[in-house]
Each structure stands twice: as structure tokens, then as C-alpha cells.
Amino acid sequence: MTCGGLHPTASRLSLESDPLSRDLWAMERQHPITEDRETAWQVEIVSSGPNSRSGPAAPAGSSLMRTVVSIAIVSGAIGLMAMMLAFAATIALIAVPVAVGAGLVAWLGMKWRAARGR
């Protein structure tokens, strides 16, 4: 069941003048896939020896320095998290009594309004 000679899916999904030109099956029909093994590129991978690094060797203390820097970064992150936890605890120590006090004031206000309404 085609509409205007177009592919049913293409006629529903596209309003272009030639929706079949964008259709996958139409593309396969226009440019068929052929397996041409004669034109395949051959790539040869050659290692440059046991030590394939180029450039001078790393200094003897570089691995120690890398370890020290890694430990410093990790300890700094842990210290930052500890400071954030202490800050959050300080905020909580201030915010909780303020919230309880606000609740107490609201409760007393409701009781006072109820007593005046009688």
C-alpha cells in the first residue's frame, strides 16, 4: 500500500520530494557493496626493538617524585573532605537549634491564636 508511488515508510516519515534517495535500501541499490580483495591495503607492523620509547631515559628519581605527588594529591583531597565535613557539622550545629526555635515560635503562635479565637 503505497501513497503516490513512494515507499510506505518514506511517505509517512518524510515530506521531501524524493525521500527514496535518502533510503538505506535505495542507497544499496544505487551503490552496491562489493567485496574487492585485490584493492585491500596491506599494512606491515614493525617494532622498533625491545625499547620502543623514543627520547632520553627518565631520571632515576622521577618515579619517586610521581609517587610523592600522588600521595600529596590524595592526602589533600582527604583533608578537603574533612574540612567540608567539619563545615557541614558547624552549619548543622547552628541550623538545628534555629530550626527548633522557629518551630517553637510557630507552635506558640498557633496556640495563642487558638486561645484568642475561643
19 within domain boundaries: yes
46 within domain boundaries: no
The pLDDT of residue 60: 78
The pLDDT of residue 43: 77
The whole domain housing 22 covers: 1-33
21 within domain boundaries: yes
25 within domain boundaries: yes
47 within domain boundaries: no
- Cβ atoms of residues 26 and 18 within 8 Å: no
The pLDDT of residue 46: 72
- Cβ atoms of residues 12 and 23 within 8 Å: no
Q: What is the mean pLDDT of each run of 10 residues along the chain (118 residues)?
A: 51 52 63 59 71 69 90 96 92 91 95 86
> How much is the pTM?
0.39
The pLDDT of residue 62: 86
The pLDDT of residue 36: 57
6 within domain boundaries: yes
Domains held by the chain: number: 2
